[in-house]
């Protein structure tokens, strides 16, 4: 009986260790997904290249999950995120941390800038914004398929002087 319990314990430990380990193929896939993702958004914000939102980096039906109706498609995604560039001419976007497993990524980010242009229909306030958030990302065949941003909207509106 003790021998059976010992074997059961050993197999359980081996199983738990195996669950936590990814294969080299999974590691490579994750590495490629992280590289593609960071490259696309770095070019978008650092080089202010809105054309990077294209079929090379994004699926044709890329979806930005937002309250109400989601944004679907390359042009809709480009227009949605373009608000950050038109609203903040000095926009700075930083990856605080990014990690994942397979086709699922999680990004902790920081966005800074001065609100000096139209931002989702909000006229310029001249106020500085320093916002932190998290994005859940789904990749498909090495392309960005879905993004779901989470941030404190009330904090953003307070910083822009639109709420007290």
Q: For every one of its 164 residues, what pLDDT tens digit does the chain have, with 9 covering 90 and above?
A: 666 655 554 555 555 444 455 577 788 889 999 999 999 999 999 999 999 999 999 999 999 999 889 999 999 999 999 999 999 999 999 999 999 999 999 999 999 999 999 999 999 999 999 999 999 999 999 999 999 999 999 999 999 999 87
Q: What is the pLDDT of residue 113?
A: 97
* CA 130 – CA 114 distance, rounded (Å): 9
Q: What is the pLDDT of residue 159?
A: 97
Answer whether 91's CB lies under 8 Å from 111's CB.
Answer: yes
The tokens 């994005």 sit on which residue?
135
Q: What is the pLDDT of residue 143?
A: 96
- Domain 23-159 fold: Nuclear Transport Factor 2; Chain: A, (3.10.450)
Q: What is the pLDDT of residue 107?
A: 97
* CA 67 – CA 90 distance, rounded (Å): 27
> Do strands 128-140 and 58-65 pair parallel, antiparallel, or not at all (unpaired)?
unpaired
Per-domain boundaries in the chain: 23-159
Q: Where is 163: in which H helix or E strand?
A: none
Helix (H, G, I), strand (E, B) or coil at 6: helix
Residue 29 to residues 35, 139, 140, Cα–Cα distance (Å)? 10, 10, 11
């Amino acid at each position: 009986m003790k021998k059976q319990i010992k074997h059961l314990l050993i197999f359980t430990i081996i199983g738990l260790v195996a669950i936590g380990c990814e294969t080299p193929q999974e590691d490579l896939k994750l590495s490629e997904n992280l590289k593609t993702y960071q490259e696309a958004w770095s070019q978008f914000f650092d080089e202010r290249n809105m054309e990077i939102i294209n079929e090379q980096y994004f699926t044709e039906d890329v979806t930005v999950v937002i309250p109400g109706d989601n944004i679907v498609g390359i042009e809709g995604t480009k227009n949605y995120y373009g608000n950050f560039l038109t609203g903040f001419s000095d926009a700075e976007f930083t990856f605080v941390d990014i990690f994942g497993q397979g086709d699922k990524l999680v990004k902790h980010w920081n966005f800074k800038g001065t609100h000096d242009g139209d931002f989702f229909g909000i006229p310029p306030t001249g106020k500085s914004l320093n916002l932190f958030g998290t994005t859940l990302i789904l990749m498909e065949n090495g392309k960005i398929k879905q993004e779901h941003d989470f941030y404190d909207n009330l904090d953003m509106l307070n910083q822009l002087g639109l709420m007290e």
